[in-house]
Amino acid sequence: MLKIRLQRIGRKNDPSYRVVVAEHARGPKSGNFVERVGVYNPNTKERAFNKERILYWMSVGAKASGTVHNMLVSEGIVAGEKVNVLPKKTPIAKEKGADESAAVNVMEEDQKEDGAAEPLMDEETKEEPQSSAAVDEAKENGGGSAAEGASDEERKEP
């Protein structure tokens, strides 16, 4: 199937385009096109089309790409309405994690209302949190670390 589409030419950061008739399966940069039927410069908005050849190729069965179709409608070469060439927006789907976290929050609120007296476990150490009295008692018995004041030599018993 033949397509009328744009082929980018020009330098880096200075694009200009050829309007070419090419086989749809061939890449636009391959240079293998059937006929050049116009040019388009987006910087100066210059457009030049060969109206007779475009109408001939469309009568033979060539289809214009979305952007070329819109340009041809603007120039009055093809009758019709412009087509939307922008991609369709996808609807935002609800995440499954949001539903699960809501269920966990409901369970936590129920536990607070029931007055659960069990201390929560630390997730990292899997130990019950120590009260400040237990920490003070450990310091008095010499169970503290070197950073808490007792040196390694004082801990060694002869």
Tell me the domain boundaries of the chain.
2-75
What mean pLDDT comes out for the span 115-123? 53
- The pLDDT value recorded for residue 91 is 77
38 Cβ contact list (under 8 Å, min separation 6): 18, 19, 47, 48, 49, 50, 54
Q: Extract the runs of DSSP E, i.e. beta strands, from the chain.
A: 2-11, 14-23, 35-41, 46-49, 63-64
Give pLDDT, residue 29.
74
CATH T-level assignment (fold) for domain 2-75: S16 Ribosomal Protein; Chain: A; (3.30.1320)
Task: Give 58's contacts (C-beta < 8 A, 6+ positions apart).
Answer: 4, 64, 78
- pLDDT (average), residues 30-57: 92
**Mean pLDDT to the nearest integer, 146-151:** 52
Q: How confident is the model at residue 135 (pLDDT cuts 50, 70, 90)?
A: low
Residue 19 reports pLDDT greater than 90: yes
Q: CB of 47 within 8 A of CB of 40?
A: yes
